[in-house]
Structure 1
Amino acid sequence: MADTLVNETSAFIEQLGRLGIEKDSEKRLALLRGVADLYLSRTVSPTLAEEYLFSEIANAVLRKLQPHQRPQVSTALCDSERVPHSLALALASDSDIEVARPVLSRSPVLTEGDIVALAQASSDEHLQAIATRASLTARVTDVLIDRGSNTVLRTVSGNAGAEFSEQGMLSLVTRAREDDELSLALADRGDLSPAVLEQLNGLICARVSAEAEGDDTSGTVASLRARAQALITEELRKRKANIGSTERVIAAVEAGSMTLDDGLGPLLAGGRLLDLSQVLAHFLRFDRNFVFQQMAAGEINTIVLAFRALNIAYPHLEATLALRARKRRSGQAGETTVTRQDYEAINPADAQRAMRFLKVRMTVGRQAPTENAA
Structure 2
Amino acid sequence: MVALHSVVAEVEGAIASGDPAKRVSMLRRMTSLFTTQAPRLNEDQVGAFDQVILRLSRDIETRARADLAANLADVANAPRHVVRDLAYDASAEVAGPVLERSLRLDESDLIQIASGAGQQHLMALSRRSALAERVTDVIVSRGDEKVVRSVAGNRGAQFSLSGFQILTTRAERDVELEHTLAERVDVPAAQRSQLIAMARERARRTLATEFGASAAERATLAIAESLAAPPVDLTPIEVAVARQAKVELDETNVQEWLSMGQTNYALVALARFAGVPSVIALNAHMAPTTDPLLFLVRSARFGWKTLKLFLASRSDGEPNADDMQSAFQSFQELSVATAQRVVRFTAAREKLEQSTAA
- TM-score range for the pair, normalised by the shorter chain length: 0.5 to 0.7
For the pair 1:90 / 2:206, whether they are aligned, the reply is: no
Partners of 2:76 and 2:197 in 1: CA distance: 45
Partners of 2:357 and 2:197 in 1: CA distance: 22
Partners of 1:138 and 1:226 in 2: CA distance: 39
Partners of 2:14 and 2:73 in 1: CA distance: 20
1:178-257 correspondence to structure 2 within 5 Å: 178-213=173-208, 215-216=211-212, 219-224=215-220, 227=223, 230=227, 231=346, 234-235=350-351, 237-240=353-356, 242=358
Partners of 1:241 and 1:58 in 2: CA distance: 55
Shift of 1:240: 4.9
Q: 2:135 aligns with which of 102, 127, 140?
A: 140
1:46-61 correspondence to structure 2 within 5 Å: 47=44, 51=47, 54-61=49-56
Equivalent residues of 1:93, 1:118 under 8 A apart: yes
Partners of 2:120 and 2:3 in 1: CA distance: 39
User: 2:63 is paired with a residue of what secondary structure?
Assistant: coil
Structure 2 runs not aligned, ≥5 long:
228-345
53-62 or 131-140, which moves further after superposition?
A: 53-62
Distance 1:84 1:217, change over 3 A: closer
1:107 is matched with 102
Distance 1:103 1:228, change over 3 A: farther
For the pair 1:164 / 2:280, whether they are aligned, the reply is: no
1:254-333 correspondence to structure 2 within 5 Å: none
Equivalent residues of 1:15, 1:35 under 8 A apart: no
Question: Deviation per CA, 1:166-219, whole angstroms, max 9, x where unpaired?
Answer: 221121111011112111111122222322210101212232334444642652
Structure 1 runs not aligned, ≥5 long:
243-374
2:298 is matched with none
Using the size of structure 2 for normalisation, the TM-score is: 0.58
Equivalent residues of 1:19, 1:32 under 8 A apart: no
1:263 is matched with none
Distance 1:79 1:22, change over 3 A: farther
Aligned residues: 235
2:60 is matched with 65
1:342 is matched with none
Partners of 1:93 and 1:187 in 2: CA distance: 34
> Would you identify which runs of 4 or more consecutive aligned residues in structure 1 move more than 6 Å?
none
Shift of 1:150: 0.9
Question: Deviation per CA, 1:290-349, whole angstroms, max 9, x where unpaired?
Answer: xxxxxxxxxxxxxxxxxxxxxxxxxxxxxxxxxxxxxxxxxxxxxxxxxxxxxxxxxxxx
User: 1:69 is paired with a residue of what secondary structure?
Assistant: helix
Structure (1 or 2) with the larger CA radius of gyration: 2
Distance 1:111 1:205, change over 3 A: same
Shift of 1:9: 4.5
Partners of 1:26 and 1:89 in 2: CA distance: 24
Equivalent residues of 1:105, 1:131 under 8 A apart: yes
1:75 is matched with 70
Shift of 1:139: 1.4
Partners of 1:30 and 1:207 in 2: CA distance: 58
Distance 1:217 1:189, change over 3 A: closer
2:242 is matched with none
Distance 1:54 1:9, change over 3 A: closer
Shift of 1:154: 0.7
Question: Deviation per CA, 1:216-249, whole angstroms, max 9, x where unpaired?
Answer: 265223322553685476445522554xxxxxxx
Equivalent residues of 2:207, 2:213 under 8 A apart: no
Partners of 2:26 and 2:190 in 1: CA distance: 56
Equivalent residues of 1:127, 1:144 under 8 A apart: yes
Distance 1:67 1:10, change over 3 A: closer
Equivalent residues of 1:137, 1:164 under 8 A apart: yes
Distance 1:44 1:68, change over 3 A: closer
Shift of 1:101: 0.3
Amino acid at match of 1:239: S
User: 1:159 is paired with a residue of what secondary structure?
Assistant: coil
